[in-house]
Chain A
Amino acid sequence: MLESVTLERRSGAGPVLNAASFVGALALGVALSLAVLVAAGVPTKALFEELVVQVFLSPAGLARTVTMATPMMFGALAAALCLRLKFWNIGIEGQLWLGAICATAVALYDIGGPLRLPLMMVAAMVGGALWILPSVLLKTWLGVSEVIVTLLMSNIAYLLLQHLLFGAFGDPTFNFPTSPVFDDAERLARFGWGDVNAGVALALVAVAVAALTLGATRFGFAARFVGDNPRAALALGFPALRVLLVSVLAGGAMAGLAGGVIVAGTEFRLTQAVGLNMTFNGIVIAALARNTPAWIPVWAVFIAGLNVAGASLKVFYGVSEGIVLVAQGVILLALVTGTFVTTYRVRFARRGLA
């Protein structure tokens, strides 16, 4: 008599199981990440100090974390707004670079007079939205997978960034591929707390608007239907195509704005390193927040803290920054594997009848 395992799809998991599986998977992911750090040479004793005290509890460290979390909130919105419509935006970096490029162009060519800064932000959003547009059009018209198109558009955007930095945007007085530094009027205001700047206010406003729109407007309601069952949405008379387009473009705009706040808020110029790994950061944060805008700030701070810690671990213990990427990968893998518990029930049953 064979004892064996069969899987059965659950019709639904209760809130307790949902929460337990999330917390369990997260704990597992964090534990494995810590193990990786220790294996990479961080003394166990230093972990708490580096990963908690230095990045969340010390004012200077927290300022660094919040600064880094600012574009990440936009990046996570870029992932979540698209994912809610089952659109995989794996080109957040590309949209971010376009946003940064457009904002920089406004700054370098001195467009907009007194409205320069707002115009930079608008330009960043437009750039990001335009860069995601081909993928959503190709998907809806021809069914081309957005996964590949957004990825490839990212590569193209990076080359465009380099083209500009080595050419039109380059700073002739400088050997590095960077743009000239922005004027004061082209910088987001600082609060006198580290590099924390007005971008964080923008991010929180964006999160609030997204949360309200998705939670309490007709558009958000329609998005729930289109995301879950486009055919039913169509039969109910919801403008399925428009909802998809608007959500995805909004996602692209958020990614563009991430680029905008990086150049205008912290870097004050365009460089090759702007927003690296934002695609992955955004997707991890969105996964942690379960695509719910209201949770994004919390998890953006969490992931930003990890990255800030990574930077200091590099200085003090010679740990590569690659380790932070590994840690985020491990956390994401643990999270998505954890959905197994809520999706399936495992039965140890007697196979067949015997």
Chain B
Amino acid sequence: MALRIGGASKSFSDHKVLDAVDFDLAAGEVHALLGENGAGKSTLMNILSGIYTADAGRIEIDGAPVSVSGPAAAVALGIGMVHQHFKLVQPFTGRENLHLAASGLPVVPPRATVDAQISELVIRSGLDVALDVPVARLSVAEQQRIEILKTLLLGARILVLDEPTAVLTDAEADGLLSLVRDLAAQGHAIIFITHKLREVISAGDRVSVLRRGRMVLANRAVEDVTRDDLSSAMIGGQDVAVTKRAGARSGADLLSVSGATVMDGGATFVSGANLTVRAGEIHGLAGVGGNGQRELAEAVLGMRPLADGRVVLEGHDLKAASVAARRGVGMRYIPADRSADALASNVTLADNLAATAVRTGALGRGLVWPGRIRAHAGSLIEAFGIAGASGGARRPVRLLSGGNAQKVILAREIDGDARLIIAHSPTRGLDVAACAYVHDRLIEAASRGAGVLLISEDLEEILALSDRISVISRGRIASTADGRPDRAQIGDLMLGHA
């Protein structure tokens, strides 16, 4: 047995992220680690590579207990990790990054030796990549190759790949999977984290599943488990199905975006996008993250300028309108990144809930007394069942859990005057109950006659909720003639061939 982790526990400020987790790994195997967002996969691996300090537990390598006292110790023990968010110094070249990594070896080889090793490694592994340009100019796939080279250069025997395929195209992912198999064949022990069952089945030897910090399915041979076993382990046997929408009636066009082009710093994020959302409709916009979703949403809301095109909401031409004016005609926004784009984390829960009401003057035009703000917030806290605001509405909103933080945003955004709700990945990182809650609210808003533009990477969510579906790929929006593409058609559209 190459590696055994026993009883690993970890909490972040009283939030238990790992609860007595056991895990083991053999030389020459690819061990797939599955789990939903926030299950604790990265945390476990960060403990293994010395970045996080566990609260309890032990690690054995080749049967002997070891202490991973820090990243350097992990390197010395032959543990290498390709992090979910690459650990590369962006302005440095690939070679500089490799030298930096090599300087952490217990015995630092001379620079010429490192250069020779790099050349040799590139040839041996076939990981061909430009090493003398700043990493920032490389594609993610290329950056990933440098990360893998890094672990190999450091002589890692235990290799952790944290969601390596999430950022890759299918072809790139296939290449990576075969590299992983090769490395395993050479005797490396590999932990492969992924969300994709297909990859588990095609590349994994054994599989484990983490759910909310517990190992719910441990060290099973891939042949012995079914897809259903895995998916029910991941989400905990609860009903997978998202609330289905029963045939909604949709009315006239509410929002129409035509020829929208969004540019920033010379790059084009959205080009010539056309899209309509009807009253009472949920329009799903599917697509892999980073294809212009955020920029499109922000341009519709007026946070960034449109280089070209029009945005019309119920007859109001909004091309030059401010965010406040757009909100004034009923536009609402639930951004993907709650803490970065929606909440002021250090401001109180009450203020965050009351933000819109205060801005529009609903709580007073001249003086706005804190008491009125708290009363307003109090009614929303009750109506939306926002829990866990320990200490009440006067505590900073950052103390809320993800699900409750999202409820704060819903409570603020989905009011009676909402006409168009742009919801971007509204269930990201939420547990099943919170997801259902968010979906119900969106459906409710639509059935009141509002339009919902649901932007999501989660295809299940899109398919379950949407009346019509479009796909965004490299800043272009496409759909089928009837606006109801099926799964296969969506896949095609995502690849950019319609």
Contacts and interface: CB of A to CB of B under 8 A. Distances in A.
A–B contact (CB under 8 angstroms): yes
Interface of A: 1-2, 4, 6, 8-12, 212, 215-218, 221-222, 224-225, 228-229, 231-239, 345, 347, 349-354
Interface stretch (B52-60, B144-152, B228-236): B52-60
Residue among A10, A229, A239 facing the most chain B CB atoms (10 A cut-off): A229
Contacts, number: 134
Residue among B50, B68, B359 facing the most chain A CB atoms (10 A cut-off): B359
A232 B47 contact: no
B422 to A, nearest CB: 10
Nearest to A228: B344
Contact of B69 (A11, A12, A228, A352): A352
Taking chain B's interface residues, is the majority helix, strand, or loop, or is none over half, making it mixed?
A: mixed
Residue among A224, A225, A235, A345 facing the most chain B CB atoms (10 A cut-off): A235
A237 B327 contact: yes
Interface string B358-372: 110100111111100
Interface stretch (B5-13, B204-212, B455-463): B5-13
A106 B361 CA distance: 40
Interface string B2-34: 000110100011100000000000000000000
A218 B301 CA distance: 22
Interface in B333-362: 333, 335, 340-347, 351, 355-356, 358-359, 361
A235 B359 CA distance: 12
Nearest to B49: A352
What is the interface residue range for chain B against chain A?
A: 35 or more
A198 B304 CA distance: 48
B59 A229 contact: no
B395 interface: yes
A233 B301 CA distance: 13
B59 to A, nearest CB: 4
B346 A352 contact: no
Given A1-B67, A11-B398, A353-B58, A218 B368 contact: yes
For the complex of A and B, 5 pairs with smallest distance between CB atoms? A352-B68, A354-B67, A237-B324, A228-B344, A351-B69
Contact of B68 (A10, A225, A351): A351
14 contacts: A217-B368, A221-B359, A232-B340, A232-B342, A232-B343, A236-B355, A237-B323, A237-B324, A237-B359, A350-B67, A351-B69, A352-B73, A353-B68, A354-B67
B13 A236 contact: no
B109 interface: no
Nearest to B373: A221
B322 interface: yes
Contact of A233 (B8, B70, B344): B344
Given A225-B351, A354-B65, 10 more contacts: A2-B69, A12-B398, A221-B351, A233-B344, A234-B303, A234-B323, A237-B359, A352-B54, A352-B70, A353-B57
Contact of B358 (A218, A232, A345): A218
Given A234-B303, A235-B323, A10 B13 contact: yes
A237 B74 CA distance: 48
B328 to A, nearest CB: 8
B53 A231 contact: no
Contact of A228 (B12, B56, B342, B347): B347
Given A216-B370, A217-B366, A354-B58, A232 B341 contact: yes
A228 B370 contact: no
Given A11-B399, A236-B359, A349 B303 contact: no
A222 B344 CA distance: 11
Residue among A12, A236, A347 facing the most chain B CB atoms (10 A cut-off): A236
Contact of B301 (A216, A228, A235): A235
B66 interface: yes
B10 to A, nearest CB: 10
Nearest to A11: B13
B12 A8 contact: yes
B6 to A, nearest CB: 8
Contacts of A233: 344
A177 B290 CA distance: 64
B368 A216 contact: yes
A215 B55 CA distance: 42
B347 A225 contact: yes
A93 B481 CA distance: 67
B303 A235 contact: yes
Contacts of A231: 340-341
Interface string B60-100: 00000111111001100000000000000000000000000
Contacts of A1: 67
Nearest to B399: A12
B396 interface: yes
